[in-house]
Amino acid sequence: MQICIDMTTKVPNILLIYTGGTIGMVKDYKTNALAAFNFDEIKKKIPELQLLDCDIRTISFDKPIDSSNMNPEYWIQIAEIIEKYYEEIDGFVVLSGTDTMSYTASAISFMFENLDKPVIFTGSQLPIGDLRTDAKENLITAIQIAAIRENGCSKINEVCLYFEYRLYRANRTTKVSAEQFEAFHSPNYPQLGESGVHLIFNDNALIRRNEEKDLIIRKNFDANIVILKIFPGISEQVVKCILEIPNLKGVILETYGAGNAPTVDWFKDLIKKAIDRKIHIVNVTQCISGSVMLGHYETSNHLKEIGIINGKDITTESAVAKLKYLIGQRIPFKDFKKTFETSMRGEMS
């Protein structure tokens, strides 16, 4: 439980956690090679940070990783750093590669129940030493957001993602561009804030701090899941091979439109048999925005009848993190569907 204090006598402490990624790279202009720089010297690289009214500390992974190598073991490392410094730090900024940032940030959001401090993920499309880099603005503003207080408490009490002037709920985001600075969108939930001349927050969209409950951190994930994307002409053999992977416990089924899938007998039978074997199957839409509405069309009614889990408007990234997380909590099969279909951290409507 967070005890709010008079911040007029205390400068907020912000911890930067560098896991790897482009934002922490500098270019050797003789060789054009990129290498991670020492974050202990961050204020020398970005002297503007000294203008911020907060105390900035840094910690880095011993071996910074490319985001393509991100996995649940690294998610737990991030969580344990936050846990270790939680009482003494007022806000956290996690720097990581952009390719898997939405997956990682979503996972961290599920791990921390009753969070009452900001955890802001950010990164960049260009290295911090590049002439046209977006790293400086993203980093400076992410720190500024993490340090903002209101009535003696943190303004933000959830896991967010800040990128290119916009603050999002992390578990609502998806990466949409590998080339544009505006790399992330939140297709089914409004942005939480925007950075312009002033920082403006969408107060109605923010998660409210629960003063009656203490922080709970859960670190168990189960890796035995798979994404099965439906496409025209997908064969019975392909679906059968995927659903019969040894030790498989969960499937993210990416369907068409509002949750529609083939109605041929073999497809229905394979899905039903998998559910009968207590494999959790979550229906999410392939569309960038919108929601699964099971039973809205005949082509999804058969999935509803056999007990598939309705992913509603959750992103695939968030669904992956949530499925790994919930299976790791060993929830009884009879309760799992209802648990998944219930919003835990604002990840679905």
Q: How far apart are CA 177 and CA 300, in angstroms?
A: 30
- What residues contact residue 123 under an 8 Å CB cut-off, 6+ apart? 21, 22, 23, 95, 96, 97, 98, 101, 135, 138, 163
- Cβ-based burial of 1 (10 A; exposed 0-12, middle 13-18, buried ≥19): exposed
Structure tokens belonging to residue 199: 């920082």
Catalytic residue among 9, 19, 22, 31: 22
DSSP-assigned states of every residue in 130-170: STT-SHHHHHHHHHHHHH-EETTEES--SEEEEETTEEEEG
Residue 225, SS3 per DSSP: strand
Let me know: does 156 contact 118? Beta carbons within 8 Å. Answer: yes
Residue 292, SS3 per DSSP: coil
Helix and strand element counts for the chain (H, E): 9, 20
Q: How far apart are CA 127 and CA 89, in angstroms?
A: 27
22 is catalytic: yes
Active-site annotation, residues: 22
